[in-house]
């Protein structure tokens, strides 16, 4: 186990290095001048030149990358050009809303998708199976922002069950925090329920054709035990893989949902950084997302050791 963890951790270093170089070059070569955003419309060319010097934008790209990379190795992601605050502080302030949204969405998706996919596989070809497949197609087809606006209109404006926009921190109370998260989590969960239910259906239906399922039924085991303890358990590897990928993608894919619901999370911070050409913030957030993605994939690989004893590393 320790040998496997050591190898995987070492393998992440080149990935993070490539991500750091790629995002640095893409951000710096993208059209747009942070000095013009900071200086405003009334700034003269002399003012813009002075701002560029203060921000270090006049130095060669490799020098800028070396300075930024050295800071990253010491846990310093730099200062925001626009907000004049440490990037690590900004990420820390915006992390709770994004993690809350991602965790709530993933929990909701798993609780709905696993039973749906399992029942659809159990009743392959029946009305429930057809309904789940139709929902999967619809869930993939409808854009997230359309789902968000429909839910806002129906559940927030018409029925007035939930607030329209905003975010309440967990320190303000668990009740208000959950009440504020229901709509955005439901908006995001529809897509992931469609994905997870379809993968679960395929994996469980394949497991139900195996010999050990027939043996379990011949022993008189109830159908619920067959589904939960035999079929679903043996179909767990592909399902857990998709759940892990979904968890990583959720952190980087909340931009639209946070914008629709005005949630001050990392997605909204990314949008603001793009609009303001705030290079350090954009680089720091993308690097943070990459680190989370690598960490989630590492946890998924470790889970294989417990889910399938035949797997050896």
Indicate if the alpha-carbon torsion angle 276, 86, 170, 192 is positive or negative: positive
Q: pLDDT digits over 32-70, tens only?
A: 667 776 666 666 777 677 777 777 777 887 888 888 888
What is the model's pLDDT at position 2? 66
Q: pLDDT digits over 275-300, tens only?
A: 878 888 888 888 888 888 877 777 77
Residue 303 β-bridge partners: none
Q: Spell out, as residue ranges, where the chain has pLDDT lower than 50.
A: none
What is the model's pLDDT at position 308? 58
Residue 304 β-bridge partners: none
What is the model's pLDDT at position 202? 82
Left (φ > 0), alpha (ψ -120 to 50) or beta: where does 24 sit? Answer: alpha
What is the model's pLDDT at position 252? 62
What is the model's pLDDT at position 195? 84
What is the model's pLDDT at position 4? 65
What is the model's pLDDT at position 15? 79
Whole-angstrom distance, CA of residue 114 vs CA of residue 151 = 23
What is the model's pLDDT at position 253? 65
């Amino acid at each position: 186990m320790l040998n496997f963890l050591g190898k995987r951790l070492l393998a992440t270093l080149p990935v993070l290095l490539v991500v750091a170089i790629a995002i640095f070059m893409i951000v710096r070569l993208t059209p747009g001048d942070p000095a013009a955003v900071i200086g405003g419309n009334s700034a003269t060319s002399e003012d813009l030149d002075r701002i560029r010097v203060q921000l270090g934008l006049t130095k060669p790209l490799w020098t800028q990358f070396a300075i930024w990379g050295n800071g990253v190795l010491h846990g310093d992601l730099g200062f925001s050009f626009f907000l004049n605050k440490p990037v690590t502080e900004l990420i820390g302030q915006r992390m709770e809303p994004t993690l809350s949204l991602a965790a709530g969405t993933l929990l909701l998706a798993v609780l709905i998708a696993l039973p749906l996919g399992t029942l659809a596989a159990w009743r392959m070809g029946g009305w429930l199976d057809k309904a789940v497949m139709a929902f999967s197609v619809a869930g993939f087809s409808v854009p997230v922002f359309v789902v968000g606006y429909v839910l806002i209109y129906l559940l927030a404006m018409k029925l007035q069950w939930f607030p329209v926009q905003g975010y309440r921190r967990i320190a303000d109370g668990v009740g208000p925090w959950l009440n504020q998260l229901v709509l955005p989590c439901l908006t995001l969960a529809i897509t992931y329920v469609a994905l997870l239910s379809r993968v679960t259906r395929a994996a469980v239906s394949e497991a139900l054709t195996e010999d050990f399922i027939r043996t379990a039924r011949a022993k008189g085991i109830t159908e619920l035990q067959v589904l939960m303890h035999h079929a679903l358990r043996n179909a767990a590897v592909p399902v857990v893989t998709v759940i892990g990928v979904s968890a990583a993608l959720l952190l980087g894919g909340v931009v639209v949902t946070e914008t629709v619901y005005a949630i001050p999370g990392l997605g909204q911070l990314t949008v603001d950084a793009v609009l303001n050409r705030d290079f350090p913030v954009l680089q720091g957030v993308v690097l943070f997302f990459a680190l989370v993605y690598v960490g989630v994939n590492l946890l998924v690989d470790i889970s294989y050791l417990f889910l399938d004893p035949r797997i050896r590393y």
